[in-house]
Structure 1
Amino acid sequence: MNVAIILVGNKSDLKDVREVSIAEGKALAKEEGLIFTETSALDSSNVAAAFQKVIKEIYNILSRKVMISQEFNKQDVPLVGSGKTRIVN
């Protein structure tokens, strides 16, 4: 839940020698809870987009953590002393 993992199918420019279909890649990624994309280093297609997807997922994870933390802090938890002076005999 706290890790962003991406499954990247590389060499998408070599469609004639494909060993794994897009559907297989997407299915595996979905089964394992991963982000999926295909790239080609040769023509640079989707390389930047792959990094952007991971960065977006990291941002989403951190945002959820912040929201959970803020909700936890909003709970009415009485503070010790509540800022009042008490004299005990």
Structure 2
Amino acid sequence: MRAVSVEEGKALAETQGLFFMETSALDSTNVKTAFEMVIRDIYTNISRKQLNSDTYKTQLGSNNRVSLVKDDNKGSSQVFGFSCCSSS
């Protein structure tokens, strides 16, 4: 049973300026691909913003976590670490 038709999903995504991909939680169709595409887009957007920012820098730690570092231009910094998933 389909909760939302493909046409409805595409139309809503288009009107809201959002990404649309048909997935199925029932048999895992496109779930991993959709997740990876969203993560890639987030990473690309953050990276692009970081290139234009003097306030925040990104650091890749030894545990493969990306850290967002706020530099207050006084020689001190504050690290924000984010981790959402495992690569295994």
Query: What's the TM-score, normalizing by structure 2?
Result: 0.49
Higher relative CO (Cα under 8 Å, sequence separation at least 6) belongs to: 1
Instruction: Mark the structure with the bigger radius of gyration.
Output: 1
Query: What's the TM-score, normalizing by structure 1?
Result: 0.49
Q: Which has the higher helix share?
A: 1
